[in-house]
Amino acid sequence: MRIGMPHMGNLYIPFKALFQRLDIDFVIPPVNNQRTLSLGVRHSPEGMCIPFKLTLGNLIEAAELGADTLIMPAGSGICRLGYYAKTQEQILQDLGYNTQIVCLGVSQRKLFGLLGMIKRLSNNAPWSKIISAFRFGLAKLNAVDRIERAVQKVRPVEQIKGTANRIFARAIKAIERADDHNTLKKVEKDYTSELNQVTKNDSQPLIVGITGEFYVLLEPFSNLDIEKELGKLGVEVRRTTFISEWTKFSLFLNPLGMNEKDRIHKAALPYLKRDIGGDGWESVGEKVLHAKDYDGLIHLAPFTCMPEIVAQNIMPSTKEHIPVLTILCDEQLGKSGMLTRLEAFVDLLKHRRRAKVKV
Amino acid sequence: MIRVGIPRALLYYQYYPMWKTFFEGLGAEVVVSPPTTQALLASGSSRVVADTCLPAKVFCGHVLALVDKCDYIFIPAIRSVKRKIYNCSKFLGLPDMTKAVIPESPTILDIDIDINKGKRELYQAIYKLGRRFTWNPFKVRKAATAAWQAHLEYEELMINEGLTPPQAIARLSEAETPSLAPAKASIALIGHPYLLYDEHINHRLTHRLEQAQYKVLTPEMLSAEQLELAITRLTGGAYWTYEEEVVGAGGHYLEGGVEGVIGVVAFGCGPDSLMMDMVQRQAIRLGTTPFMSLTLEEHTAEAGVVTRLEAFLDMIQRRKRRQAEVCA
């Protein structure tokens, strides 16, 4: 049995750590690239969203590397995501791969479902070993996300553009290599201090929130590195969606009745009264909630994403006003087109801020 | 008298008799928007973002047509009608989305239907809806029971007599349904009722097939058990609320009984993009019944639909001739 799974941002790092510690045979498909996308697009139904196409590309590339057991998230009551695995299994079958898809229930069984799945995959390893490997994976996940937050702060104000990105790339490599908790802590500390020492200018960067659908927010390949591009334009990006946050709440705190999203849902209530699946409710809520403290909001959604279209229709009607730029991501999204729109948006925000200062 | 508007779009085709009986039982008058026209579709499209799916645009057009013609508009948010099987986001967000894009709309009556929350919640939701018309819970109860009866009769009528929803609605209001000439063969149309029976957006597909002397079979003519069995065989179990209309009916008709299957989908429809793909894969795998998928959107030209339909029917005729020759 050889395990493969699709990419989403740096999610492969904690999983790699987990699998290594449990001696599970696994492959990591190549990080998302043009070939992944082409493969995914070629074999997907035409109206599907980009997360489906890219994950399908990953699964095909994993199967090419010999993976026979593929992990895919699934569940019910959550947009099309719950149907991905079913369809992808049939597509892989029709392509002639002898693979089996293991569904990872993201909406129902939470922590115990995940641990149970790991136990099965690890050929019944003892629980103590599973828990310790799981904790190490989580530690890596948290370390990656903490560094990323620091990078988001440095990008807009660094003296030499691109410094933070280079440090980030090295940090990711180092975290991936770290093989015990102590090394990991040291790596995180070193890179955080390196980021702090980057020479910065004293500008007051514009603050732009970035919200929308989970996958396109977290997979830079699908949004054409929008955060880096905004950083180049001198904009500080604020994003509430992080995998570590999601994991913390949905695996540990939600079962205890704590929900990080309650505040966002409450804010959205006057405009959208119910959960519509996916992240549509959160998108509306974030606009309402952050209308005061952000300069603008970028709403990212895959083309044909059902919940986000509902959100996009509702957003303009909120009383709380803040400029919103919706960018739909799919294989047709071109870099220069997106850059032009970002530049125009940032210009608009600059004018708004200047006008506000004058008043 | 309080007038309640029901847009002739989306779930109208599934539930109209039920809704009508309910509101009339509560002493309200029911107003239905006129059939879809180009102007109506254009007015709906102008309100929502371009990526919204065709049926939702049509729906907004119908709501606009009801502005000033009624006191309330009934737009339920149907989350789930079977355990653990959920609906598309557009249906869930429909009341809120309509309110956002059509601020001039009459007060929207929304009701959350979610079977997973249990009977008690469902009854409370129905009672809350009825409270707008009467203080008397027994009257609400009576209207709801009558509505459920009407719904069962409606479904039975379609299954037993092989009627499409518009025909059954006409029958229930005691209008004559024209009898059809004997058919050459039968073609199954699969897809959601709001695509199959909206004569404007599908360019009179049913009518054209009947004109060409084909008997048209639709998902509503199959029993719930037949549909469920077909879904289980094909995908292991339903995921979407209205999956039986596509995967269930598609799976059932592909296995035999018809000369061809036409799948009708709307461009940008999330669930259909996956479900129709399932049916298409099954058609290829079986290789016995010809299958054509027809995508509808605002720019779909009538001539395009006609050409594809003609080619498909010609192919079916040729196939029949060849089969007859082989047998002879």
Residue ranges of domains in chain B, CATH in brackets: 3-160 (3.40.50), 180-327 (3.40.50)
- Domain end marker among A151, A180, A201: A201
The SS3 assignment for A233 reads: coil
- Asked whether residue A215 falls in the same domain as residue A349, the answer is yes
Task: List own/partner pairs for A225-228 with CB under 8 A and 24 or more apart.
Answer: A226/A298, A226/A300, A226/A327, A226/A338, A226/A342, A227/A152, A227/A155, A228/A155, A228/A165
Partners of residue B281 in chain A, C-beta under 8 Å: 90, 94
Tokens 């645009």 belong to B57
CB pairs under 8 A between A and B: 113
ipTM over 0.95: no
User: Strand B72-74 to strand B107-109: parallel, antiparallel, or no bridges (unpaired)?
Assistant: parallel
In chain B the first and final C-alpha atoms are separated, in Å, by 68
- For residue A64, the enclosing domain spans 3-125
Q: Return the pLDDT at B1.
A: 86
- Asked whether residue A233 falls in the same domain as residue A311, the answer is yes
How many residues are present in chain A?
A: 359
- Asked whether residue A213 falls in the same domain as residue A338, the answer is yes
**Which residues 6+ apart lie within 8 Å of A332 measured at CB?**
A303
- Domain end marker among A109, A125, A141: A125
- Asked whether residue A229 falls in the same domain as residue A107, the answer is no
Q: Is the pTM of this model over 0.95?
A: no
- Nearest CB among B51, B92, B281 relative to A304 is that of B51
B296 interfacial to chain A (CB closer than 8 Å) = no
**Residues of chain A predicted below pLDDT 70:** 77, 106-109
**Which residues 6+ apart lie within 8 Å of B280 measured at CB?**
B263, B291, B293
**Residues of chain B predicted below pLDDT 70:** 175-182
Q: CA torsion angle for B30, B36, B39, B43 (degrees, to 10)?
A: 60
Q: Return the pLDDT at B176.
A: 62
- Nearest CB among B52, B99, B270 relative to A80 is that of B270
- Asked whether residue A210 falls in the same domain as residue A332, the answer is yes
Contact B162, B156 (CB under 8 A): no
* Minimum Cα–Cα distance from B273: chain A residue: A47
Partners of residue A77 in chain B, C-beta under 8 Å: 80, 84, 86
Residue type, position B186, single letter: S
- Asked whether residue A168 falls in the same domain as residue A192, the answer is yes
- Asked whether residue A189 falls in the same domain as residue A222, the answer is no
A317 interfacial to chain B (CB closer than 8 Å) = yes
Q: What is the CATH number of the domain that holds A329?
A: 3.40.50.11890
Q: Return the pLDDT at A112.
A: 81
Contact B22, B144 (CB under 8 A): yes
- Asked whether residue A49 falls in the same domain as residue A94, the answer is yes
Please state, in angstroms and rounded to a whole number, the distance separating the CA atoms of residues B110 and B93: 11
* Minimum Cα–Cα distance from B282: chain A residue: A90
Task: List own/partner pairs for A178-186 with CB under 8 A and 24 or more apart.
Answer: A178/A140, A179/A20, A180/A136, A181/A136, A181/A139, A184/A136, A184/A139, A184/A140, A184/A143
Q: CA torsion angle for B210, B212, B213, B219 (degrees, to 10)?
A: -40
- Asked whether residue A55 falls in the same domain as residue A166, the answer is no
* Minimum Cα–Cα distance from B113: chain A residue: A274
- Asked whether residue A155 falls in the same domain as residue A215, the answer is no
- Asked whether residue A171 falls in the same domain as residue A311, the answer is no
- Domain end marker among A201, A227, A246: A201
A272 interfacial to chain B (CB closer than 8 Å) = yes
- Asked whether residue A163 falls in the same domain as residue A251, the answer is no
**Among the listed residues A24, A36, A28, the one whose alpha carbon sits nearest the alpha carbon of residue A11:** A28
The number of distinct structural domains making up chain A is 3
